[in-house]
Structure 1
Amino acid sequence: MIELSAALAAMALAHWVPSAPRVRPILISVLGPRGFHAVYSLVSFGVLVWLVAAYGAAADGPWLWTPPFWARWTAVLGMPVALWLILARLMQRPGDAPASIYRLTATPGSLGILLWAGLHLLNVGAARAVVLFGTFAVIALAAAVKNLWTAPPGRRLIGILPGRAMLQGRTPARLDDLPLTPLVLAFGLWLALLALHPLVIGADPLAGMLP
C-alpha cells in the first residue's frame, strides 16, 4: 500500500505542478509549447504505468464497507454520462465564451473524471480500491475548482454543476448545440467497457444483474 500511495501522490503532483498558474508559463518558456506538452505527456504516462503496477502489487487491505446492490445499476447507467463529459472535453477545447458542452458545465473533463471515480467508489469496499478512486476523485474535484477559478468570466458564470446556469437563467436553456459525436462515441465505448471489463480488469459490472 505504501508504493500505491507514493504512485498516487506522484500522479497528483504530475497533474497539479505543471498546471499551476505560476509554474506553467515558466515551463513553457523553457521547454517551448511542444516540448512542454511532450514532457508532460511522457511524465504522465510514466506515472500511470507505475500506478497500474503499484495497484496490482498492493494487497486489497481491509474492507471498509459493503457496496449496496443499487450502486451497481447506478454505475452501469451513469458511466456513459462520465464518458461523454470526458470525450466532449477532449474533442473541444474551451473558449472565452461558453459554447456547446461548456454551456452545460464549465469543467466537463474534471466533472467526468469525478463522476467516473465516484461511481467506482460506490462499488468498491477494499481499502486498496478506495484509496485509488478516492484519490482520483480528490484530484478531479481540485482540478474542477482550479479550472473554474482561472476560467474567463463567461465560462466561470456557468459553474461546475451541469445545467445549473440554465436553470438559473444565466445562459439560454437550449441543448441543440451540445456535442453529439462524443455522445455516440461514449455509448460505443461504454458497450466496449462492459464487454472487456471482466477480461481486462477482472470484475464483471453486470454479474448477477441480468437474468
Structure 2
Amino acid sequence: MVEFFLALALFLLSHSIPARPEIRGRLTGAFGERTYVILYSLLSLGLLAWLISAATRSPYVPVWNLAIGQYYVPVILMLPTFMLFAGGAVSPNPFSISFSRRPYDPARPGIVAVTRHPILGGFALWAFAHVVPNGDLVSLIMFGGFGLFALAAMPLTDRRKRRQLGADWERLAAGTSILPFAGDAPWRWPRGTLAATLIGGAGLYLLLLWLHPWLFGPDPRIVFS
C-alpha cells in the first residue's frame, strides 16, 4: 500500500499548498492565470489517475459485506452531486470555487443560496456516496479522505475569503451558509445559470453513468437490471 499512500499524500498536498494565497499569487504571477489553471488541472488529473491506479493495485482488505442495494446510494446521490458541480462552475461566487467571470449579485445568488461552496459540497457528496458500495479498506481511506478534505476546506476557505473581502463579506454573504439549505438567501438565479445547472448536471450524470464501467470498472447501471 506504500504507492497508494504516497499517491494520496501528493494528491492532497497538491490541493492544499497552492490554495495558500501567497503561493497561488506567485504561481499565477510566474505562469499567468490561464496557464496556471491549465497546468494545475493537468497535474490534478494526472495525480488522480495515479491514485486510482495505485488503489486498484493495493491489497483488498474487506471492511464490510457488499450487497446490490448499496449501489443505489451513489446512483441516487450523484445526480444532485453533478447539479452542485455544474451550478458551482457557471454561477458567480466570490466565496468559493467558480469558473464564472460575471460579478456576484447577492439579490440573485443562484446556487450560492443552497451553499456557499457548491463544488466542494459536491465533491464531499461524491466521496461519501462512493464509500458505501466499496467495502474495502483502501476505498474507505481514499473516498473517506476526499470527503473529509472537502468538508475541512469549507471553513478554511470561508476564513480566507472573509479576510480578502473585508467589509464586503457581511453584505455579500448575508443569508448564505456552508450547510446546505440552512441560509435564507433569495432563490433567484443569474440569467442562464439555472438552465445550465439543470441541463449540465443531468447531462454529466447520464454521461458518467454510461461511461463508468469503461473508465472505472464497476457498472452502476446494474441497479436498473
Which TM-score applies when normalising by structure 2?
0.79
Cα distance in structure 1, aligned partners of 2:28 and 2:211: 39
Q: Which residue identity lines up with residue 87 of structure 1 in the other structure?
A: A
Deviations 1:12-60 (A, max 9, x none): 1111101113322233333332343243233223322322332232222
Q: CA deviation at 1:109?
A: 0.3
1:108 aligns with 2:107: no
Q: Could you say which residue in structure 1 is the equivalent of 2:57?
A: 57
How large is the RMSD of aligned CA atoms in angstroms?
A: 2.4
Cα distance in structure 1, aligned partners of 2:221 and 2:53: 26
Q: Could you say which residue in structure 1 is the equivalent of 2:127?
A: 117
Q: Could you say which residue in structure 2 is the equivalent of 1:204?
A: 219
Q: Is the 8 A contact 2:113 2:177 kept in 1?
A: no
Q: Which runs of 5+ in 1 are unaligned?
A: none
Cα distance in structure 2, aligned partners of 1:69 and 1:52: 23
Q: Which residue identity lines up with residue 118 of structure 1 in the other structure?
A: F
Superposed, 1:131-210 pairs within 5 Å as: 131-151=141-161, 152=165, 153=169, 154-155=172-173, 158-166=176-184, 171-172=185-186, 174=187, 179-207=194-222, 209-210=223-224
Cα distance in structure 2, aligned partners of 1:97 and 1:176: 9
1:126 aligns with 2:141: no
Cα distance in structure 2, aligned partners of 1:180 and 1:201: 29
Cα distance in structure 2, aligned partners of 1:104 and 1:87: 13
1:37 aligns with 2:13: no
Q: Is the 8 A contact 1:86 1:112 kept in 2?
A: yes
Cα distance in structure 2, aligned partners of 1:12 and 1:128: 16
Q: Could you say which residue in structure 2 is the equivalent of 1:81?
A: 80
- 3-state SS, counterpart of residue 220 of structure 2: coil
Deviations 1:103-143 (A, max 9, x none): 22100000000000011112211112112211211221122
- 3-state SS, counterpart of residue 124 of structure 1: coil
Cα distance in structure 1, aligned partners of 2:69 and 2:32: 49
Deviations 1:82-120 (A, max 9, x none): 011011122234145541111221000000000000111
Q: Which runs of 5+ in 2 are unaligned?
A: 95-103
Q: How many residues align?
A: 204
Which TM-score applies when normalising by structure 1?
0.83
> Judging changes above 3 Å, is the alpha-carbon distance between structure 1 residues 8 and 126 closer, same or farther for their aligned structure 2 residues?
same
Q: Which residue identity lines up with residue 89 of structure 1 in the other structure?
A: G
Which piece of structure 1 moves more, 14-23 or 180-189? 180-189
Q: Which residue identity lines up with residue 11 of structure 2 in the other structure?
A: M
Q: Could you say which residue in structure 1 is the equivalent of 2:99?
A: none
